[in-house]
Amino acid sequence: MMDRYAVIGNPVDHSLSPRIHAAFATRTGEDIEYGRLEAPADGFAGAARRFFAEGGKGLNVTLPFKLDAWRWVESHDDAAASAGAVNTIVVDSKAIRGCNTDGIGLVRDLLDNLGWGLDGARTLVLGAGGAAQGVIEPLKLAGATDLTIANRTLRRAQALAARFGVASAGLDEVGCGWDVVLNATAAGLAGVGGLVATDVVSVSRCYDMFYSLDGATPFCRWAAEQGAGAVSDGLGMLIEQAAEAFYLWRRVRPDTGGIAEALRAGA
C-alpha cells in the first residue's frame, strides 16, 4: 500500500496542496498518495487521530487548525516551538511530531525565487495571527531589520512583538520607508487590499502570503496601484513550505522550479 498523506483544514476543497505534492512525487519518483481531509471546526483531534490510526504517515495543516495541531502533537521541532503553530505533522516510530515549514517557505521564496534580499532590509509584517507567528523568527534569522508587526487589533501585535523582541504598531500608525512589506493578514479572503496608508508601501517590495492563481490578490493589486517597487502573492511560499514538508516526510528534496508557472497555467 502507498504511504498516505493529506492536508487537513476547513474548508480544504480548493487546496492546491494535492496538486503540488503530486508534482513532487512525480519529480522524485516517490510513491505516495496525498488527499484532502476536511475536519469539523471543533474536530481536529478526532480527525487527526483517526487518520494516523488508519496508517496515515503525515499531515499538512491549514486554516483554522494550526494552533489545534500545535496543542495535539507529542513533540515540536524548533520552528514549531518558536512559532507556536504547526503546519506539518510527521509520524515516526517514536512520536507524532509537529513542525512548521511556513517560515522557511517564505524565506526561500523571497530569497531564492524572487531575489529580494532580506539582510539589512527594513521589514514590516501586517497581521498578528498564525501566519505572522510562523515567519517572524525566520525573518530575523535572515537578517531583516527594524522588524515591526502591525495589526488591526493592536494588543495582538504588541503581544507577538513582545514575544519575539520586535516593534509593534496599529495598522493606522505605521511609518514609511520599508524595504519589504509582508501581508500576513487574512483580509484578502474578504477582498480587502488597502490595509495601510499609501506611503507605507509606495517605495517597497510588497509580498502577500495570500495567493490566487492569477497572482492578482487584493493586496498585490492595491500595492501595485500605490506604486510599490515589486509585488508578489504567496503561491511560491505555498510551494516552498510544501517542499520542506515533503522533505521532512520522505527525506528527498523536490525541485520546485516551474511548479508555480504550471499551476498558474492550469496544468
Identity (one letter) of the amino acid at 56? G
Among 90, 139, 200, 238, indicate the residue that binds ligand NAP (CB under 6 A): 238
Counting contacts by CB under 6 A, is residue 123 touching ligand NAP?
A: no
Which cell numbers hold the place of 137? Answer: 523568527
In the stretch 44-63, what mask flags binding to ligand NAP with x, by CB under 6 A?
-------------------x
102 binds ligand NAP, rule: CB under 6 A: yes
Place of cell 531575489: 115
Residue with cell 517605495: 203
CA distance linking residue 169 with residue 131, whole number of Å: 17
213 binds ligand NAP (CB under 6 A): no
Cell matching residue 217:
490578490
| Cα–Cα distance for residue pair 27/48, rounded to 1 Å | 28
For ligand NAP, give the closer residue by CB, 27 or 156.
156
Binding to ligand NAP (CB under 6 A) within 141-170 occurs at 151-153, 156
Catalytic (active site) residue 57: no
Q: How far apart are CA 236 and CA 261, in angstroms?
A: 10
CB closer to ligand NAP out of 49 and 155? 155
Which residues ranging from 187 to 206 are in contact with ligand NAP (CB under 6 A)?
187-190, 192, 195
The single-letter DSSP state of residue 215 is S
> What number of residues does the chain have?
267
User: Which residue minimizes CB distance to ligand NAP?
Assistant: 129
Of 116 and 120, nearer to ligand NAP (C-beta) is 116
Q: What is the DSSP letter of 8?
A: E
Q: Are 173 and 197 in contact (CB under 8 A)?
A: no
Q: Which stretch binds ligand NAP (CB under 6 A): 8-16, 37-45, 48-56, 208-216?
A: 208-216
Helix (H, G, I), strand (E, B) or coil at 53: helix
Q: Which positions are catalytic? A: 66
Residues forming contacts to ligand NAP in the complex (CB under 6 A) are 63, 102, 105, 127-132, 151-153, 156, 184-190, 192, 195, 209-211, 234, 237-238, 241
